[in-house]
Amino acid sequence: DIQLTQSPSSLSASLGDRVTITCQAGQDVNIYLNWYQQRPGKAPKLLIYDASDLATGVPSRFSGSGSGTDFTFTINSLQPEDIGTYYCQQYDSLPPTFGGGTKVEVK
């Protein structure tokens, strides 16, 4: 199984800050990587697919980049509704696997 390592595991930032999360894959996954947001008590929600494409209806302050083994997820100006946990997920090979998550809190 392909292991995905996210860092940091948690972060605290001020409203309006730029937030960056990284996801490192244990082997090359091309661009086959997605990012999900999970608000407290809710189901995950797709934000970014194929490493950098914004899902329908997702605000443009969210972005993703990378390919191969190193990926970055950015929130350009942190908003109160962005609080939650963010996960990367690869689908280059079966089984699909998820990163351990990054919990984002407001300072």
Interior angle at CA 52, CA 78 and CA 90, nearest 5: 105
Q: Strand, coil or helix: what is 49?
A: strand
CA pseudo-torsion sign 61, 71, 7, 39: positive
Stretch 15-44 residues interacting with other proteins (CB under 8 A): 32, 34, 36, 42-44
Stretch 43-102 residues interacting with other proteins (CB under 8 A): 43-46, 49-50, 55-56, 87, 89, 91, 94-101
The footprint of other proteins (CB under 8 A) covers 32, 34, 36, 42-46, 49-50, 55-56, 87, 89, 91, 94-101
